[in-house]
């Protein structure tokens, strides 16, 4: 059966010493408390090696926030999936709306990134989600379907390794959370789209996380929905206490 997962997305926040301290604190709190979900932190590239050195990845998983669509070579400034994996990280966020919006990442690039992540044994956390205009004009189910379909060139075996994160863009960092019912409806839509292509078993086993202003105060209600398998957490992942408050929503 699919796993419940709470993943942090630190974005472009914290220096290396600050990040190491935060990771240590989260790891310690997790080691001391019972929790009923997998917990992952996705951190800036610069932090991966130092964070890997201070956490126990059996307790707290580690991921990057992006990787290159290219394997290696003359791509100044890029970081490959192979490099990310060599730090000891096991996950990578791909297709976050900020990457799609500000860095113009498209479906073709995201498929290439997913393939390279999987080739290097990284678990992609693949983000999808509509913008406000698409929510308001009613096209959101179609929009998200097309984003998911971008990965449909993957084999069933490969697709089965992916974690999906539904993050309505209008809810990210805005304090405006989707209602639990809106999240549930979209997650059920995503699962149906996956089932149509890869079958019910793979769809049922895919973890689909909700992201967008998820906080300790609303996590329990969101996670109580049958198709919401956890969260991808931005702002609230930057303090151990609020991040742990979300992890505890599964207790």
Provide the binding-site residues for ligand PGA, judged by CB under 6 A. 9, 167, 172-173, 211-214, 232-236
The residue number with the shortest CB distance to ligand PGA is 234
Q: Dihedral sign, CA of 201, 204, 207, 209?
A: positive
Q: For ligand PGA, give the closer residue by CB, 163 or 233.
A: 233
CB of 75 to ligand PGA, least distance (A): 25
Is 96 designated active site? yes
Q: For ligand PGA, give the closer residue by CB, 79 or 222.
A: 222
Residue 215's alpha-carbon distances to 49, 145, 177, 224, in angstroms, are 28, 26, 9, 14
Of 35, 47, 96, 187, catalytic:
96
Only one residue has tokens 């070579």, namely 73
CB of 100 to ligand PGA, least distance (A): 12
Is 167 designated active site? yes
CB of 9 to ligand PGA, least distance (A): 4
**Which residues pair with residue 91 across a beta bridge?**
63, 123
In terms of Cα–Cα distance, which of 78, 1, 95 is closest to 42? Answer: 95
Q: For ligand PGA, give the closer residue by CB, 173 or 199.
A: 173
Strand-pair category, 5-9 with 38-42: parallel
Exposure letters 198-225 (e unless 16+ CB within 10 A, then b): beeebbeebbbbbbbbbbbebbeebbeb
CB of 157 to ligand PGA, least distance (A): 27
The residues annotated as belonging to the active site are 96, 167
């Amino acid at each position: 059966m699919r796993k419940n997962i709470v993943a942090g997305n630190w974005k472009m926040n914290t220096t290396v010493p600050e990040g190491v301290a935060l990771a240590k604190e989260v790891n310690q709190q997790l080691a001391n408390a019972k929790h009923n979900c997998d917990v992952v932190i996705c951190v800036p590239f610069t932090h991966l090696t130092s964070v890997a050195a201070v956490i126990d990845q059996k307790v707290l998983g580690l991921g990057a926030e992006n990787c290159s669509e290219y394997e290696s070579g003359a791509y100044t400034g890029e970081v490959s999936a192979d490099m990310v994996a060599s730090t000891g990280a096991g996950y990578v966020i791909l297709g976050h709306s900020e990457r799609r919006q500000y860095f113009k990442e498209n479906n073709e690039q995201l498929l290439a990134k997913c393939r390279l992540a999987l080739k290097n044994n990284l678990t992609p956390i693949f983000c999808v989600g509509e913008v406000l205009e698409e929510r308001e004009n009613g096209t959101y189910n179609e929009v998200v379907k097309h984003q998911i379909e971008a990965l449909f060139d993957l084999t069933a075996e490969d697709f089965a390794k992916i974690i999906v994160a539904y993050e309505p863009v209008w809810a990210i960092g805005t304090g405006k959370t989707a209602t639990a019912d809106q999240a549930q409806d979209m997650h059920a839509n995503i699962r149906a789209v996956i089932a149509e292509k890869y079958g019910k078993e793979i769809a049922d086993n895919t973890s689909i996380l909700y992201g967008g202003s998820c906080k300790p105060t609303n996590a329990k209600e969101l996670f109580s929905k049958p198709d919401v398998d956890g969260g991808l957490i931005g702002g609230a992942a930057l303090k151990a206490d609020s991040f742990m408050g979300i992890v505890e929503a599964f207790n």
